[in-house]
Chains A and B, each alone.
Chain A
Amino acid sequence: MRITVKCFSQVRYALEKDELSLELGPGKDTKDVEDLVREHANKKLDGVLLRTAVNRVYIKEPQELKDGDEVAFIPPVQGG
Chain B
Amino acid sequence: MILTEIIPATIVPFPSDNTRREEGAELIFNGRVRGTEHDKDILFLDYEHYEGMAEQELRTLANETAGKFPIQDLFCRHRIGRIAIGETSLHVVIWSRHRKEGIEAMTYFIRELKKRVPIWKWAVLVSGERVPSECVHQD
Residues of A within 8 A of B (CB): 6, 8-10, 53, 56-58, 72, 74-75, 77-80
Q: Which residues of B contact A58 (CB under 8 A)?
A: 116
Q: Which residues of A contact B52 (CB under 8 A)?
A: 56
Residues of B within 8 A of A (CB): 31, 47-50, 52-54, 56, 78, 89-90, 110, 113-122, 132-133, 135
Q: Which residues of B contact A75 (CB under 8 A)?
A: 120
Q: Which residues of A contact B116 (CB under 8 A)?
A: 58, 77
Q: Closest chain A residue to B90 by CB distance?
A: A80
B120: contacting residue among A9, A53, A57, CB under 8 A: A9
Q: Closest chain A residue to B111 by CB distance?
A: A80
A78: contacting residue among B53, B110, B120, CB under 8 A: B120
Q: Decide yes or no: A78 and B50 within 8 Å by CB, A9-B132, A10-B132, A56-B56 being known contacts.
A: no
B115: contacting residue among A53, A57, A77, CB under 8 A: A77
Q: Which residues of A contact B114 (CB under 8 A)?
A: 77-80
The smallest C-beta distance from A11 to any residue of chain B, in angstroms, reads 10
